[in-house]
Amino acid sequence: MSDATARILSHMNKDHSVAVEDYLSVYGGVTVDNKVANVRMRDIELDHMTIGFNHELIETEVLKPIPFDPPMKSLREARERLVAMAKEAAAKRGYSHISINEMVYPPKQNYPVLVLTVLLIWGFFKPDYLYGVVYPKVLPQPVTDFVRFLTPFSFYLIAFLHIGECFLCMRPRLNKHRVPLDFKIEWMLDCLIEGFPSWKRFDKLVKKYEKGE
């Protein structure tokens, strides 16, 4: 195995394992489900790549050759060819070829909004202490009474908007980019509290990955 081949295999298996599964599914015609495991690119030649995987009904590793059409003239073409195939394969499976495996937390300038949201939740569920003890120490009583009057309406409005954003804006993005469950929970909770800045931040993260292709 040449050094170039070894570098390609290491890079694909370490950083683009989802793309390798897409190749196997779309170009290899293999149903990639919970019966299939350890999907890895085993070899790459000018005219084909070989993907290995284990199946619970088969004792030994299965090797699936996937031809390049047309064949490459040099392994220098591998990156461009594999990226193009990854985009096509992911799209056919209803996904993006870019998978996100991280969480980006709110920047410091968003903290005041988060604090206000927490205070709103606190005021809705525990109003007596917040409006009877805390707010009167820092706000005039008429202002405290007005804020308390607005709290139920504000809570239901923001809850309606943020829950809608979670399921209409954030969840489709997370599914499209195949975000793992642990990060998916974090993104959904952040969107529930923060709203649209959360999924806007997710879009910015995706664009960063797109530029790094």
What tens digit of pLDDT does each residue of 125-152 get? Answer: 988 888 888 888 888 999 999 999 999 9
What tens digit of pLDDT does each residue of 60-109 get? Answer: 999 999 999 999 999 999 999 999 999 999 999 999 999 999 999 999 99
| Residue 72 to residue 210: CA distance in whole angstroms | 24
**Residue 213 pLDDT more than 80?**
no
- The pLDDT assigned to 132 comes to 87
**Residue 202 pLDDT more than 70?**
yes
In the sheet where 36-44 sits, what is the strand order? 36-44, 48-55, 62-67
| Residue 36 to residue 146: CA distance in whole angstroms | 60
The domains of the chain, with CATH numbers, are: 3-92 (3.20.180.10), 108-211 (no CATH)
Find out whether 148 and 123 touch, Cβ atoms under 8 Å.
yes
| Residue 160 to residue 165: CA distance in whole angstroms | 9
Whose CA is closest to 178, among 101, 68, 122, 118?
A: 101
- For the segment 196-207, the average pLDDT, to the nearest whole number, is 96
| Residue 74 to residue 175: CA distance in whole angstroms | 35
- The pLDDT assigned to 133 comes to 85
Report the predicted TM-score, pTM, of the whole model to 2 decimal places. 0.83
Tokens representing 90 are 């992911």
126 Cα distance to chain centroid: 35
- The pLDDT assigned to 172 comes to 98
Q: What one-character-per-residue DSSP string does the chain give?
A: --HHHHHHHHHHHHH-HHHHHHIIIIIT----STTEEEEEEEEE-SSEEEEEEEETT-SSPEEEEEE-SSPPSSGGGHHHHHHHHHHHHHHHTTS-S-------PPPGGGHHHHHHHHHHHHHHHSHHHIIIIIHHHHS-HHHHHHHHHHHHHHHHHHHHHHHHHIIIIIHHHHHHTT--HHHHHHHHHHHHHH-HHHHHHHHHHHHHHHHT-
- For the segment 156-162, the average pLDDT, to the nearest whole number, is 96
**Residue 1 pLDDT more than 80?**
no
- The pLDDT assigned to 35 comes to 94
φ, ψ dihedrals at 39, nearest 5°: -75, 120
